[in-house]
């Protein structure tokens, strides 16, 4: 069994995981779940590369190989875990909801295992407090736990303790490289690369297909599309952003030796023609709001957005291939009167798009609220749609 631990935007991460595993035909059965993790039995587990799986996903913190499921930590027995470690290695311990006595017990067992196997192992203490102590990715890699071991213990609400070892950790190296080294980056124009990666995975598209972003800005979705092996088309009505996007894509292709095609054009999301197999975007959402708008102000903004979105979906319908899927971010606008202006689904339904069907285990329809930065004045949802 495997424990899949999700990070921020848990619901979005679960949808991403389900869609990605379906794409790579990694079938599984859900055995148990809590808010931020699933316990799964995979078919043909031995054929799956879980480290590769973690690297491809944006919303998974860890995949843990469960070695024992205990009613009490005193039954822990590392000698039965079949751990194959070098003579010299580093190890550390992550816990979820263990108390101090239980933490001391697992630490003692790890020390005893080192002694019994006559290893030269170094314990890397995360020096954290509280019931949840999960090693951050930078420490995981700087401590070289890839070559050593991260013991992981999770106490569930049913009082079972799931004990195991991490099969890998999601690296933030590429995100940091992009945030630091991209030649043109405007933080007011762009989704985070982590969310962009998750949205791209939700598309469930084969490599070498073509993705369009009709509001490409500085190219966040185009960048992630190229990284994942797609051809990309970007459209924007701001020439400065077009230039920035071209600069970023040129840099990326050289930096990562990418050969897929990219095209960025000055145009209008409502009228520009193109040919693509799928679409990912975060559109213009109205003027920047320093405070929650009045109902009258929000109504004025919403009238403009409704027209923009309707005509954008009309153009997408005319240019996307049959059964093409869209993963996009669209807003709701709250007001000082407590009224919330929400997207009328006829915006996309009247143009031949519908929500994709989500399985019951995800407990959501294909409209997923996700966390926005503190101080944000609009509500964002991610929509997963299909051309019908």
At residue 128, the pLDDT reads: 82
Whether residues 38 and 152 share a domain: the answer is: yes
Whether residues 203 and 145 share a domain: the answer is: no
Q: Counting Cβ atoms within 10 Å, is residue 40 exposed (0-12), middle (13-18) or buried (19+)?
A: buried
Q: List pLDDT tens digits, range 251-274.
A: 999 999 999 999 999 999 999 999
Whether residues 146 and 293 share a domain: the answer is: no
Q: How far apart are CA 359 and CA 142, in angstroms?
A: 39
Judged against a pLDDT cut of 90, whether residue 330 lies above it is answered with yes
| Domain containing residue 228: CATH number | 3.40.50.150
Whether residues 240 and 214 share a domain: the answer is: yes
Whether residues 61 and 83 share a domain: the answer is: yes
Whether residues 278 and 161 share a domain: the answer is: no
Q: List pLDDT tens digits, range 144-183.
A: 999 999 999 999 999 999 999 999 998 888 888 888 889 9
Judged against a pLDDT cut of 80, whether residue 378 lies above it is answered with yes
Residues 188 and 209 sit within 8 Å (Cβ to Cβ): no
E strand or H helix at 297, and its extent?
A: helix 295-319
| Domain containing residue 57: CATH number | 3.30.2130.30
Q: What percent of the chain clears pLDDT 90, i.e. is strictly above it?
A: 88
Containing structural domain, residue 117: 2-171
Judged against a pLDDT cut of 60, whether residue 188 lies above it is answered with no
Query: Considering the entire predicted model, what is its pTM?
Result: 0.93
Q: List pLDDT tens digits, range 86-107.
A: 999 999 999 999 999 999 999 9
Joined together, the tokens standing for residue 10 give 């848990």
For residue 122, give Cα distances in angstroms to 93, 111, 233, 317: 12, 9, 49, 58
At residue 239, the pLDDT reads: 97
Whether residues 49 and 149 share a domain: the answer is: yes
8, HSE (Cβ side, Cα atoms, 13 Å): 7
């Amino acid at each position: 069994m495997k424990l899949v631990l999700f990070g921020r935007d848990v619901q979005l991460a679960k949808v991403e995981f389900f869609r990605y595993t379906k794409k790579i035909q990694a079938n599984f059965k859900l055995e148990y779940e809590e808010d931020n993790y699933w316990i799964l039995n995979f078919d043909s587990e031995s054929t799956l590369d879980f480290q590769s799986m973690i690297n491809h996903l944006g919303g998974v913190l860890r995949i843990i190989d469960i070695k024992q499921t205990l009613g009490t930590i005193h039954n822990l027995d590392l000698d039965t875990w079949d751990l194959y470690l070098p003579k010299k290695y580093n190890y550390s311990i992550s816990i979820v909801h263990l108390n101090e006595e239980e933490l001391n017990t697992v630490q003692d067992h790890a020390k005893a295992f080192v002694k019994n196997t006559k290893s030269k192992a170094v314990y890397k203490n995360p020096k954290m407090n509280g019931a949840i102590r999960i090693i951050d990715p930078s420490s995981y890699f700087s401590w070289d736990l890839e070559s050593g071991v991260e013991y992981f213990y999770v106490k569930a609400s049913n009082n079972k303790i799931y004990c195991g070892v991490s099969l890998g950790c999601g690296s933030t190296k590429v995100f940091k490289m992009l945030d630091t080294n991209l030649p043109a980056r405007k933080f007011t124009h762009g989704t985070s690369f982590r969310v962009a990666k998750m949205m791209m995975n939700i598309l469930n598209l084969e490599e070498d297909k073509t993705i369009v972003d009709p509001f490409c800005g500085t190219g966040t979705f185009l960048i992630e599309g190229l990284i994942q092996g797609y051809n990309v088309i970007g459209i924007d009505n701001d020439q400065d952003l077009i230039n920035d996007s071209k600069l970023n894509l040129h840099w990326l292709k050289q930096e990562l030796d990418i050969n897929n095609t990219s095209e960025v054009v000055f145009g209008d999301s409502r009228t520009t023609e193109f040919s693509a197999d799928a679409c990912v975007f975060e559109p213009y959402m109205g003027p920047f709001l320093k405070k929650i708008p009045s109902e009258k102000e929000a109504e004025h903004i919403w009238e403009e957005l409704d027209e923009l979105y309707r005509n954008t979906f009309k153009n997408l319908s005319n240019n996307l291939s049959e059964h093409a899927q869209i993963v996009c971010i669209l807003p709701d606008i709250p007001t000082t009167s407590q009224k919330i202006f929400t997207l009328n689904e006829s915006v996309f339904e009247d143009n031949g798009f519908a929500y994709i069907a989500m399985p019951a285990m995800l407990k959501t329809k294909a409209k997923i609220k996700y966390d926005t930065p503190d101080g944000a004045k609009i509500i964002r949802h991610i929509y997963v749609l299909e051309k019908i």
